[in-house]
Structures are given as structure tokens and as C-alpha cells.
Amino acid sequence: MARVFTKAENQAWSKTLPGKMCSACLAIINENNEVLMVKAGYKDHWTFPSGIVEEGESPKSAAIRETLEETGLIVSDEHVKPLAIIYTTGKDGDRDRFNVGFATQLKYTSGNIVVPNAEIEKVMWVAFDKVAELSGGKRSYEEFQRILLKDDDLYIEV
């Protein structure tokens, strides 16, 4: 099982990575127009299933991998579509990063939503208009919420 890092350890690790960071997330949307969000134990806010894109990995593959790791869902690659690319400048110890967002309607290959490891505390379905609030005011999630509500997909710098 993978080691679970504290918030401080995670921030310290991310500062050692070269250049700008690239993270990927997957907004899984159900038939009630709700999106799946997860709460990691080392974070004080909710996110879509997400994580850092690893060396040699595409953002889309990273989003699908993180979804499996954090929710137990096996998502079909063919149904995953771009949502937005959001560039955020670092603040409060964070580095500049590209947040590459993808979205899919609830068309996953298999698996039940579970909390599969010690990293994730909770998983829940959320109305689109609650995404920014639950993210703790993260600028990228304010933009993801705006895009979900208006059904836009575009590149944004915040």
C-alpha cells in the first residue's frame, strides 16, 4: 500500500519537482447533474479525483488512474472528454501549475464507489453550484464550477 503523506510533507515534496507542476482531475457527472468529489485526509478541502501527472504519463491517463486509486471506479477512456485547462500561479507555498480537467458522464467500466485507502476520507456526489465552496475557495475549482454550470470548456489563467 502506498504511503500517505501529511499536508506539510506533500507541500515539501511538490517544491522539489522541477519546473511547473501538472495535475489532472476527472469530474464524474451522474444522471442528477451532480459531480463526484473526494476528501483526502491531508487536505482541508474537497476535490475531484485528482493527482500529479507522473513522468511519461498523459494528463488523461493520470486522471483515470487517480479516479481508480481514490474511488475504486474503473473509467472507460473513450468516454473521458476535456473539461478545461486552468493555469494557476502559486501562492501559500504552492507552485505554479497546470490543472488539466476532464469530465465524463457516469459511464465507467466497472467498480463501486468506495474509499479504497487511507488517503481518502470521504467520497460524495455534489451539486455543481457547491463545487467551489467545498474546494475551500481554490481558484481552479471556482473556474471548474463556472464551466460545469455553463457547459463551457476552455483555457483559463487565474
135-158 pLDDT, tens digit per residue, is 988 878 888 888 888 855 554 555
Instruction: Kindly state the cell numbers that stand for 89.
Output: 500561479
Question: What pLDDT does 1 receive?
Answer: 47
Q: Which helix (H) or strand (E) holds 53?
A: none
Q: What is the overall mean pLDDT for the chain?
A: 81
pLDDT, tens digit, 9 for 90 and up, residues 19-75: 677 899 999 988 888 899 999 888 889 999 999 999 899 999 999 999 999 988 888
pLDDT, tens digit, 9 for 90 and up, residues 5-33: 677 776 776 666 656 778 999 999 888 88
Spatial separation of the C-alpha atoms in residues 115 and 122, rounded to whole Å: 7
Residue 101 lies in a domain: yes
Q: Considering its fold, how many domains does the chain have in total?
A: 1
Residue 2 lies in a domain: no
CATH of the domain at 103: 3.90.79.10
Instruction: Kindly state the cell numbers that stand for 135.
Output: 474546494
β strands within the chain, DSSP E: 21-29, 34-40, 46-47, 50-52, 74-75, 81-88, 97-105, 108-110, 120-127, 155-157
Residue 1 lies in a domain: no
- Name the residue range of residue 74's domain: 7-152
Residues in a beta bridge with 141: none
Q: Which of 3, 4, 73, 91 is nearest to 40 (CA)?
A: 4
Q: Helix or strand or coil: residue 12?
A: helix
Spatial separation of the C-alpha atoms in residues 38 and 120, rounded to whole Å: 7
Residue 157 lies in a domain: no
Q: Which of 33, 32, 41, 120 is nearest to 73 (CA)?
A: 120
Residue 63 lies in a domain: yes
Write down the H helix ranges in 3-130: 7-16, 59-71
Residue 98 lies in a domain: yes
Judged against a pLDDT cut of 70, whether residue 112 lies above it is answered with no
Residue 102 lies in a domain: yes
Question: What pLDDT does 62 receive?
Answer: 94
Is the overall model pTM greater than 0.85, yes or no?
Answer: no
Residue 125 lies in a domain: yes
Spatial separation of the C-alpha atoms in residues 39 and 87, rounded to whole Å: 22
